[in-house]
Amino acid sequence: MLRARRFDAAVMKVPFSPPDIRQEDIDAVVDVLRSGWITTGPVSRQFEAALAAYMGVHQAVTVNSCTAALELALRALGVGPGDEVIVPAYTYTASAAVVEHVGAQVVLVDTAPGEYRPDIPTILAAVTERTKAVIVVDIAGVPFPADDLRTALEGSRPAGRLGVLDRMERPAVIVDGAHSLGATRKGMRAGQLGDFTAFSFHAVKNLTTGEGGALCWRPDLEIDDDVATRLVRRLSLHGQTKDALAKTQAGQWEYDIIERGYKSNMPDILAALGLSQLGRYDEMLATRRGLIAGYADGLAGLATVLPHAGTEFLSSAHLAMVDLGALAPHRQQIINHMAEAGISTNVHYKPLPLLTAYRSNFDIVDFPNAHAQYLAELTLPLHTLLTDESLEYVIASFREAVERAA
């Protein structure tokens, strides 16, 4: 059996998820800095085209966060006061807060027993005629069966029309794909499964622009791609009819403001970093998938590592989520032991009803499955700079922590 003391704990440090920035990324950013154009412009457009090609969709619009992308999807759908949006209780606040940002009501649903996501019957039971959209989350990079959810929602006709999807006869399915760039299900890449999908390029995500995000829609959606692209871009830029690059062309100063919008566009400096990382993204995914397999082998018999592959799906291996099972009461001891060994761990997620901002509207007793999942969850470090030696060290430290706790 591996022992943590085989390693020199004084020198081992295992961060949770540092960015993997290479010289080619730095060069790409420096090129933009030297180019004379640093905000949204040609490189953002290139990044959008490369993302769309990668995901197999017609269009991606880059913005400054996944949160902004989720909110833009709701705004494009015309979701607002009087509407309801169903959101899982087991997620990060961004998935739900955007619903309130547009003035609609959040309807939280519990997870399925033993899972980090709700099942489709539970979502259907929460649908009312005021339900305009369902937001589902690809937790850890495992794609939610959003295609099945779309089918199951057929027949649940919302009162009123759905903005840019004005012919749609069911609530829209928006995927919070913050974790799932590159995941696949039934041969479809993340981005093709929900009606809309929002991705995150935050500093700890698989592909990073420091902060950033993108919104896309499935290729077979009945939507005019140009109209939708113009709308989402405009909504991400104050409701302004021209972006900064178009406005600075000689004689082209004039613009209009069509709605009093927010501002969430992605500058070319960040897009350059994203575009550079996307060039080697498949290699990064392969590394992450190998590390997850290493954890699953190393922890077999001790705790359950969330499966990242199945007959119908392959995840983007974003988070190494571990279900501690009977060891759940010792979670903090395990975290402390590993922290002393220089290993950063995390917990994903504290269900929303446990958080101060949500407590006045929701009671955790109504979400027993999410609560139980949370109490037993521990996330181990996972990133493309993690060496085989570090992986062994994390596993050995975890084993040692468990032996001490027992």
Catalytic residues: 205
- List 379's β-bridge partners, or say none: 321, 346
Query: Is the Cβ–Cβ distance between 264 and 72 less than 8 Å?
Result: yes
Closest CB 68 distance from ligand PLP, rounded Å: 7
Closest CB 91 distance from ligand PLP, rounded Å: 5
Contacting ligand PLP (CB under 6 A), which of 91, 209, 229, 264? Answer: 91
Query: Is the Cβ–Cβ distance between 160 and 123 less than 8 Å?
Result: no
Closest CB 384 distance from ligand PLP, rounded Å: 18
Site for ligand PLP in 108-147 (CB under 6 A): 137
Stretch that binds ligand PLP, among 65-73, 121-129, 352-360, 366-374 (CB under 6 A): 65-73
Q: Which is nearer to ligand PLP, 116 or 398 (CB)?
A: 116
End-to-end CA separation in angstroms for the chain: 17
Neighbours of 290 (CB within 10 A): 13
Query: Is the Cβ–Cβ distance between 55 and 216 less than 8 Å?
Result: yes
Q: What SS3 class is residue 102?
A: coil
Closest CB 242 distance from ligand PLP, rounded Å: 26
Stretch that binds ligand PLP, among 61-69, 185-193, 255-263, 368-376 (CB under 6 A): 61-69
Q: How many residues does the chain have?
A: 406
**Whose CA is closest to 163, among 206, 207, 126, 132?**
132
Letters for 317-356 (x = contact with ligand PLP by CB under 6 A, - = none) are ----------------------------------------
Query: Is the Cβ–Cβ distance between 218 and 149 less than 8 Å?
Result: no
Separation between Cα atoms, residue 357 and residue 378, nearest integer Å: 23
65 interacts with ligand PLP by CB under 6 A: yes
Stretch that binds ligand PLP, among 92-100, 159-167, 255-263, 358-366 (CB under 6 A): 92-100
Q: Are strands 172-177 and 131-137 parallel, antiparallel or unpaired?
A: parallel
67 interacts with ligand PLP by CB under 6 A: yes
E-only strand ranges, 180-310 = 184-185, 188-189, 196-200, 213-217, 304-305
Closest CB 132 distance from ligand PLP, rounded Å: 19
Letters for 172-211 (x = contact with ligand PLP by CB under 6 A, - = none) are ----x-x---------------------x-x---------
> What is the phi/psi pair of residue 202, to 5°?
-60, 160
Q: Which is nearer to ligand PLP, 99 or 396 (CB)?
A: 99
What residues line the site for ligand PLP (CB under 6 A)? 65-67, 91-92, 94-95, 137, 176, 178, 200, 202, 213
